Chain A
Amino acid sequence: MRHLFIAGLLFGCANEVSSSLEPDFETDSLPDLSSSRLICDTNALPAPTPLKRLSNAHYRNSLTFLFSAPALQAPLATALATDFTRLPPDRDTGQTFASMDQRLTEEHVNVQFDLADGLASGVASTPERRVALAGTCAEEAPLSTECVDGFIRGFGRRAFRRPLSDEEVERFAELRGDGLDPAEILGNLVFSFLMAPQFLYVFEDAGQPLSGRPNITELTPWELASRLTFTFWQSPPDDSLLDAVASGAFETDEGYTNSARQIIEDPRSTTFVRSFFDQWFKIPEAVEFPNDPIFNTVSRDVNVDAGLYVEMRAEAHTLIDEFMENDRSYRDLLTTPMVMTQSQRLAEIYEVEAWDGSSEPPVATAAPRPGILTRSAVLLATGTTNPILRGAFLRREILCDDLEVPPDLPSEAFQFPEQEPDQSTREVVDAKTNVEGCAGCHALINPLGYAMESFDGLGKFRTEEEVLDSNGEILATVPIDPVIRPQLDLGDTNTVDTVEQLMSDIAGHPKTASCFARHLYRYAFRQDEDVVRDGCSLINVQEAIEAGSMTDALIALVTDDGFKQIVLEDAQ
C-alpha cells in the first residue's frame, strides 16, 4: 500500500537562494548523459547471463502448472496458502523488476523443502489423486515399472521443462524401491522433482557453443521455450508448447518466430503487460489516499474512496491492453488522448464521458490527457505533485537518462521552503534549485516536472494552482506556467508550451525508444543491461519500437541472437 503525499516537496539541493531563473551553465557542471547511450559493437562479447533461480511468480505458476488437475487442487491450495506465503518475497533491491531479485536465503530452501514435502504427501495421498498424477495405472498396487517410468517421463518433462535423459529416468526410477506403496513412491518422486536444481533454477547449459566463440552457446529449443514463457506468461511452457517443441516447431527460424508470436499474442501475456508496465511505471498495487486538510481540499469535488484508485489502475491497464492487442505503437501510447474508463468519477477527473465498454472510447478534448504517463495511476506513482520527483521519473524511467543522486546531500536539501501566497510551486522550486552546484542537473529534471504541474494531486488537469495552508485553506490562486525548455538533448534550446507538446516530443525522441528496449531487456533477462556489450541487441529492439508496434518490439527482442544465446564469462 502506498501512502500518498500530495503536498510535500523533496529538494535534492540546498544553497543560497538565487533570484535568477536561468541556470548558469558556465559555472555549473552538467551531468554526463553519454554513459546511457547505446553502442553497437559487433565484436563485443554480450554481457554474461548468470544462472537464475525461479522468481517467486515463476515458482508459484510452475507448481500450479504441475498440479493443475482438479483432483490436485486441494493440496495445491493448501501449500500455496501456507508454506508458500513464508517464501521471502521478491522485492525491490534497487532494481527495476522484482524478478531481478536473485537473493537466495536459508528460508528459501526451508520453504522449498516444506512445499515439496507437503505437496508430495498431499498429491499422492488418495487413489483419485494418484490417478490424476500418473494415470489409471496408478490404481494398481504395486505400481508397475511402466507406470512409474511413464510418470517420471511425463512429470519430469513438465518439471524440468525438457525431456529427461534415459540416465535421469533411471536415477528417478530407483525411488520405486522395494515394498513401498504407491503413495510413498509417487510422493518421493514428486518431492525429488520439486527439490531438484533443474526445477528450481532455469538452466540454459545444454546448447552447443558457437564455432569460434566458445563463450557463446545457442539455447536449445527447450530452453528457448522456457525463456519465452517465463518472460511473457511468468509460467513454464505448457503441454502443447512442449509438444510443439518436441515436434520440431523451434527447429527453423520461421517456426521459432511463429511460435514466439503465438506466445506473445496468447491471452496469458496479459501477465506480462501487468507485470512489465506496472513495475516500470511504478504503478502501485494499491494507494491509501490521505485524510488530511490539504488533500481534502484538493479532492473536494471528487468522491474519494479506496475504489477510486482501483478504477484509475484499471483504466491504465485497459489502455495498455488495447495498444498491445491491436498492435499499436509505444509512441502512440505516450500521446493518445483516448480514455478507456467506465468509472464516472474518473471520467469526471479526466473531463470526458465515461466509456460504455464496447463502443469507440471517448477522446479527451475538454482537457488535455496526452498518453499513459498523464493518467492518474501513473501520476500518483510518485505519491506527490512534487515537480522534482515527477521530472526525475520522466528523466530516469522514460528517457533512461543516467542522473545520479548527489553523493552527500546537505541537511537543507530536505527543508520545505517558505511558499508565499503569490508564489507557484514552480517558482519556489526554481528559487531553491537554480543555484550553483544544483542548477546543472535540476535544469534537466525540473522543467519536465513543471510541465506536469498541469495535473494536480489526483491527476486532474489544471491551469491554476491553489496555494494552500496547512489547514487546507486556499490562500491564493496562481497560474500554472507550462512553458519549459525540456532539453531532451543536452543543450537543446527549444521550448514547449503545453504538456501535449512535451509528451509528443518525448514520444518521438530516440532515447524513449531506447529506454523501452532497455527495460524490456531487463525484464526478459532479469538483469541489468550493458549498453555497450548488449548494444546491438538493444538497438535492434529500439529500431523496432520506433518503426512499429510494441508487439513488433517484443518479436524483435525474441528473434535477436542475444535472446537465443547465452554468454559465459568464465566457462571452463
Chain B
Amino acid sequence: MKYNRIHRRHFLQGIGGALLTVPILPSLLPREARAQAMNPPKRFIGLKHWNAPPVARTWPTSSGIRGDYTVRPYALNRAFRDGTTELSTPLTEPTGNRSGNRYFGHWAPLSDFIGTEATGDGFSTMFGRELNPFRDKMLYLRGLHFPASVNHNNGGWLGNFAASENPRGSRANATLDQVLANSSEVYATAPIGPRSISLSPGQFASIVFDDSGSGITPVIDPVAAWTSLFGRLDGGSEGETPADHPRRNLVNRIYEDFRAVRGSAQISNNDRQRLDRHVGFLNDLQVRLQSSGSVIAGGSCSAPGEPPARNLNSVEEVRSLYNDYLDLIAAAVMCDVTRVFTLNCCRVPALVNPGVEDVVAQGCGSCNSGEGNPNFDQAGRSWHYAAHSYGSELSDPALGRLGNRLSSAYEFIGRRVMAGLLERLDVPEDGESTYLDNSVVLLGGELGSNHVPDSVPTALAGSLGGYFDTGKYLDYMRLQNASPFVQENGTFVEGAHYNRLLIAILQGFGLTASDYETEPGTGLFGESRMLGRSNVHWGDMDPDMANRPLNGIVA
C-alpha cells in the first residue's frame, strides 16, 4: 500500500481526536531506545522564568523548619535579616577562594523545611505544598551567579550570555540544551522526533542558542509542538509493517546538491558550516522517515491527541496551554521521541484577586518595559516594572500590590508548571526508577531578586539516573562577609559560578570537557572571563574552580 501523506499526518488526530491517546508501536521508536530498555535514556527538561520573586517568597524562611537554624543576614550591615534561613552545615569541598581564603557553601536536607501557611506549607512560597512529594528528588540552589554586568538575558540560564542586554565581548556559544541535543552521549542515533524542542507560550524570544550563537526560534503553540513531536508518527497497528516514506530516498539526492554547492570556491567556511547544519537537520529528518521494518512485540507508549489552539489572552486558556505543553513533554519522554526540551515561562496567569480578577502576565526580562502590558496593570506597567517594585510596600502600597501580583505568577510557575511536570514524570519507567529519576528538570532564570544576575533562583529535580545527590537545599554564598551592595530585594554576596551547575549537568549525561568546553583545554563552559575580578560588584568568584562541576550536588 502506498504511503498516504495526509492519512499519516493526521492519523492520530483522526483516530483519537483531542482527548484520546493512541498507542505508538515500539517499532517506530529508535532502535537504540529499544536496546536501552534495561538502561533508560537520560533527558533534559529546562523551564525558564524571568526576573525573580522577592527573596522571602523564593527561599526557605526561618519558620516552619525542623532543626536549629538561624535567620540569614541581609543588607550592608549583617545586623539586618532577610527572613530566610541561614544554613549551618558546610559542604566538604570549598566553593571558592577569595584573597587566599577558602570559603564553603552550606546545605541542609530539603525535608527540614516543612513550611508554614504563608509558604503554602511548602519549603518556599514559590513552590508550595505541591512540590512536597518531590522534595527528596530535588536540589534547591542559592548563591549561583552569572558573570557580572550580564543584566537581562535570554540564554544565560543555559550558558549563553551573548544575548544579554550587555553582550559586549560575550561568547556566542551553544546553550547546554544544544550541546546535549547534538551529543552522541544523548543520542547514539537520530531520534524519531526533533533533537530538541524549545517551547514558548506565544512569544518569539529565543532562550536557547545554537553553536553559532544564533537564537533558536521557539515553537510558540501546542499545536505546532504536537506536530513537531508526534506529527510524523504512525499509529499503525500491531502486526502491520509500516512503510518508509516514499520520498525518503530522494533526500539522498538533496545531499548531493548540498555537496555540490558546498564545494564552491566562492563561498566561505562559515557558509559551509551553515550548509552542514542544514544537512544535519536533513539527516535527522531522513532517519525519521525510515521505518524499522519490523514490529517488536511488547511495550508501547501513548501520544496525546493534537491539542486545540489556545487564546493566550485568556487566563483559563493559558493555564490549559501549560497543561498541553506538559502533556506533550511527558508523552515525548515516555515515547522517547525527544530527549531535550525547554519551556519559556514568560506568559503565565497572575492573581489579582484569585479566581475573580486573574490576569495573564507576560514579560521576558525587560523586553516589554517600554510597552507595558495593560493586562497586567492598568497603568500599563509591566512584569519587569513589577519586579522592580519589590520592597516598595511601605513607600507605595500600589507598587507593593504589583509586586505581590507578580509573585503569584512565580507561584504558578513553581506550583503548577514545575509540580505538574514532576507529577507527570514521576511514574515508573522500569522496575526500579521513574522517568523523573532518569531525567533532570532544571528551573532556571535570568536574574535574582536583586534584579541583577546574582543568586538566580535555581532548582533541579530528578537525579539523572542517580548522578545527582538530591533532597538538598544548598546555599553557596559567602555569608561571613557583609554585602557591598543591596538592590531591590536582594544582596550582592559572592557565591559560585552558575556555569558550574551546567558543567555538572553535562557531565551527568556522560559528556567530557572536550565535548562542551568553550575553549579547548580549559574545561570551561560558557562565559568565564569575568571571574576573579575583585573590582566587580559582587566579588571574585574563584576562576580556578570554574571548570569543575558544582560542589555538593553530585552523588
Listed in ascending order, the chain A residues whose CB lies under 8 Å from chain B are: 2-3, 5-8, 10, 48, 50-51, 86, 88-89, 91-93, 102-110, 113, 117-118, 120-121, 171, 175, 188, 191-192, 195-198, 200-201, 203-207, 209, 217, 290, 292, 382-384, 386, 389, 405, 407-411, 414-416, 470, 566, 568-572
**A contact residues around B227 at 8 Å (CB):** 86
Q: From residue A140, how far is it (CB to closest CB) to chain B in Å? A: 23
CA distance A272 to B196 in the complex (A): 36
Listed in ascending order, the chain B residues whose CB lies under 8 Å from chain A are: 5, 149, 151, 165-166, 194-196, 204, 206, 214-219, 224, 227-228, 247, 250-251, 253-254, 256-258, 261, 264-271, 274-275, 277-278, 281-282, 284-285, 369-374, 378-381, 384-385, 388, 451-452, 487-488
| Given A3-B373, A107-B219, A197-B278, A411-B388 contact (CB < 8 Å) | yes
CA distance A410 to B151 in the complex (A): 11
CA distance A347 to B201 in the complex (A): 40
- A102 near B214 with CB under 8 A, answer yes
CA distance A274 to B268 in the complex (A): 33
- A105 near B216 with CB under 8 A, answer yes
**B contact residues around A110 at 8 Å (CB):** 194, 228, 281, 285
**B contact residues around A386 at 8 Å (CB):** 370
A113: contacting residue among B216, B269, B285, CB under 8 A: B285
- A568 near B217 with CB under 8 A, answer no
- B268 near A411 with CB under 8 A, answer no
B261: contacting residue among A102, A108, A171, A198, CB under 8 A: A198
- B371 near A3 with CB under 8 A, answer yes
CA distance A48 to B271 in the complex (A): 11
- B217 near A411 with CB under 8 A, answer no
Q: Choose among B264, B271, B284 the residue with the greatest number of A CB atoms under 10 Å from its CB.
A: B271
Can you identify 26 A-B contacts, CB atoms within 8 angstroms? Answer: A2-B371, A5-B374, A8-B372, A8-B380, A10-B370, A51-B267, A91-B217, A104-B278, A106-B284, A107-B219, A109-B281, A171-B256, A191-B247, A195-B257, A201-B275, A203-B264, A203-B267, A205-B264, A205-B266, A217-B266, A382-B370, A386-B370, A414-B369, A568-B266, A570-B268, A570-B270
- A192 near B250 with CB under 8 A, answer yes
- B149 near A408 with CB under 8 A, answer yes
Q: Choose among A8, A92, A121, A175 the residue with the greatest number of B CB atoms under 10 Å from its CB.
A: A8
CA distance A569 to B267 in the complex (A): 9
- A568 near B268 with CB under 8 A, answer yes
- B374 near A205 with CB under 8 A, answer no
- A10 near B261 with CB under 8 A, answer no
Known: A3-B371, A91-B217, A171-B256. 15 other contacts (CB 8 A): A3-B372, A51-B268, A104-B214, A107-B194, A188-B250, A198-B257, A198-B261, A200-B278, A209-B266, A217-B266, A382-B370, A389-B370, A470-B379, A566-B266, A571-B267
Q: From residue B80, how far is it (CB to closest CB) to chain A in Å? A: 18
Chain A, Cβ-Cβ closest to B196: A106
**A contact residues around B217 at 8 Å (CB):** 88-89, 91, 103, 105, 107
**B contact residues around A409 at 8 Å (CB):** 151
CA distance A180 to B508 in the complex (A): 52
CA distance A389 to B370 in the complex (A): 8
CA distance A50 to B452 in the complex (A): 36
CA distance A382 to B372 in the complex (A): 11
CA distance A195 to B195 in the complex (A): 21
**A contact residues around B373 at 8 Å (CB):** 3
- A196 near B254 with CB under 8 A, answer yes
| Given A110-B285, A415-B388, A470-B379, A195-B267 contact (CB < 8 Å) | no
**B contact residues around A217 at 8 Å (CB):** 266
- A7 near B380 with CB under 8 A, answer yes
B388: contacting residue among A117, A197, A207, A414, CB under 8 A: A414
CA distance A11 to B206 in the complex (A): 26
**B contact residues around A121 at 8 Å (CB):** 5
Q: From residue B185, how far is it (CB to closest CB) to chain A in Å? A: 19
- B281 near A106 with CB under 8 A, answer yes
Q: Choose among A106, A188, A572 the residue with the greatest number of B CB atoms under 10 Å from its CB.
A: A106
